[in-house]
Structure 1
Amino acid sequence: MLENFASFYRKAASVRDILEKAPFPEKARFQITKVIELPKEQYRRYMNELLRDVSFISRNVSDMGFDGKTETFLCLFVTCRDVNTGLLVESEGFGYARYAAFIPEKSALSLDGIPTERASEKYLCRHPTPER
């Protein structure tokens, strides 16, 4: 099995927050349980509103978690067909990205055989994000 590692950040509001933070001293192991594919505009908006509750995370809470035995984040990979970036998300049971890691090159991941869900979040950017 190919092992993957990434720097996860807790409660980042946007991808910009992740990119501006100092890197964690250690990268964490992760396993992608499902790929969530958003339309391009909604993907772009989502990357700026990571603390927003979204239905694709709520629907897939059971596919995420942290396996303490193997020290592995079980997470969703949120992306768009037309871009080569993505975001690993672990919600810790919530409806938003409680832990997130930005992946600048999704082509470096092995996504073959991982279920893909095409999702749509039409309400993104219409309401202010609540404090968490």
Structure 2
Amino acid sequence: RVVAEVTLSKKEYDRFREDLMEDYGFISQHTQKTGVKDGQFLCILVRKVGTKHTAIAVESDGYDYARYAALVRI
């Protein structure tokens, strides 16, 4: 389940995609919302500006990096 959406510039998104283990401020802003509840992953949806059909779902598990991530088609 998506608990927050973040849209990044192309440059920011490409950097994020290439280094998911880095700490990011946009993840730390939402990290308390992520986790697992009732068998559902609570995720941040990270999109690149102008992209509508793909995103990266992030479940940070309380951390400031993408501890669990998946490329999703919307």
- Return the TM-score normalized by structure 1: 0.53
Runs in 1 of length 4+ with deviation above 6 angstroms?
none
Distance 1:34 1:98 in 2: 16
Aligned residue for 1:95, secondary structure, equals: coil
Distance 1:59 1:45 in 2: 18
2:4 is aligned, of 34, 57, 72, to 34
Q: Are positions 1:96 and 2:65 aligned together?
A: yes
Structure 1: gaps of 5 or more residues: 1-30, 107-132
Aligned residue for 2:15, secondary structure, equals: helix
- TM-superposed deviation, 1:41: 1.5
Distance 1:47 1:72 in 2: 24
Structure 2 equivalent of residue 85 of structure 1 = 54
Aligned residue for 2:18, secondary structure, equals: coil
2:43 is aligned, of 58, 64, 75, to 75
- Return the TM-score normalized by structure 2: 0.90
The alignment of Structure 1 onto Structure 2 pairs a total of residues equal to 73
- Taking only the aligned residue pairs, the percentage that are identical comes to 34
Larger Rg: 1
- TM-superposed deviation, 1:44: 1.4
Distance 1:72 1:52 in 2: 25
- Two-structure CA RMSD over aligned residues (Å): 1.0
Aligned residue for 1:41, secondary structure, equals: helix
- TM-superposed deviation, 1:81: 2.6
